[in-house]
Structure 1
Amino acid sequence: MLDDLDRRILRQLQADPMMAVPELAERLGLSSARLARRVERMRDRKILRGPRAVINWPALGYAVEVSLRVTLDKTQPRAFDEFIEAACEISEVVEIQTFLGRVDVRLSVIARDMPHYQLIYRDQILALPHIADIEALMHVARIKNDDSLPL
């Protein structure tokens, strides 16, 4: 699937995704055109999904992060679809994951402070459809946050 050159390119992009193409090409000993073709091929194959901004939420005043584990009322045929559609509308929900098992969905919610979180929870989260059970886990520290793969 990936050859050694593709892996070298991906390692460099994981280390510094903002590196300019000419600098990256020079580091890898490639021409800019050859590097561009390789990167485009990996985009076409959906290996590279494109650049993204990684936001430092606390720097923007969001000091509270809560993980909500939600169990849905699965007696309703559209419970998952309706819950997820409604949860996507809450701007403070920054991540939604689905699971197999007792917990069906996990929501990551950010808030400026605890009063702000309580407003979000009471006015928006508890209004989501088909909730059978919900458990809140207060985020204390992020020990490791690394999306890079050992290539």
Structure 2
Amino acid sequence: MLDDTDRRLLRILQARPDLPTAELAREVGLTAATCWRRVTRLTEEGVIRGQRAIIDWRALGYGVEVSLRFTLDKTQRGAFDEFMAAAREVPEVHEIQTFLGKVDVRLNILARDMPHYQEIYRRRILALPHIADIEALMLVATVKSDLALPL
């Protein structure tokens, strides 16, 4: 169970994951050793799964994000697993989600521009196995994208 100090640690780490332990400890009001032990415990318990850089894909020249929703033809045994394995091999797919309901899978695709997206779609996406239906949603604007949890 998390206490108030753990929640403070997590709030600060979400905002500034590269903060040195000594500075984190100072902000939370702990000694560096106690802070390090708490962060280690939270990591070992799986609350903190890692730290990573969040890269703005637009800054790297990608201008198009498309969300593709797939309904799969599940009449063949193994269709879902075969589709997932093939989708993982498409480098431009940066997120895969599965659902219960009419939509089985959602893939998020990043492309440099529309011609690049069309190439990905024609050569890689349409080659994926067991597709019964595809719906494409092109990203127009991101209104809110918050990776931090409300702690």
Runs of 4+ in 1 over 6 A off after TM superposition: none
Task: Indicate the residue corresponding to 1:95 in structure 2.
Answer: 95
Aligned length: 151
1:17 paired residue number: 17
Counterpart of 2:30 in structure 1: which amino acid?
Answer: L
2:133 equivalent in structure 1: 133
Deviation sequence 1:67-112 (CA, Å, 0-9, x none): 0000001112211111111101111000000000000000000000
- 1:119 aligns with 119
The alignment status of 1:54 with 2:57, answered yes or no, reads no
> What is the TM-score when the length of structure 1 is the normalising length?
0.97
Give the letter aligned to residue 98 of structure 1.
T
Residue in structure 1 matched with residue 32 of structure 2 by the alignment? 32
State which drifts further: 77-86 or 130-139. 77-86
The aligned amino acid for 1:62 is Y
TM-score for the superposition, normalised by structure 2: 0.97
How many Å apart are 1:4 and its aligned residue? 1.1
| One-letter amino acid of the counterpart of residue 19, structure 1 | L
**Distance in 2 between the 1:110 and 1:99 partners?**
21
Unaligned runs of 5+ in 2: none
Write the letter of the residue equivalent to 1:97. Answer: Q
Q: Over the residues paired in the alignment, what is the CA RMSD in angstroms?
A: 0.8
Aligned counterpart, 1:65? 65
| Identity of matched residues, % | 66
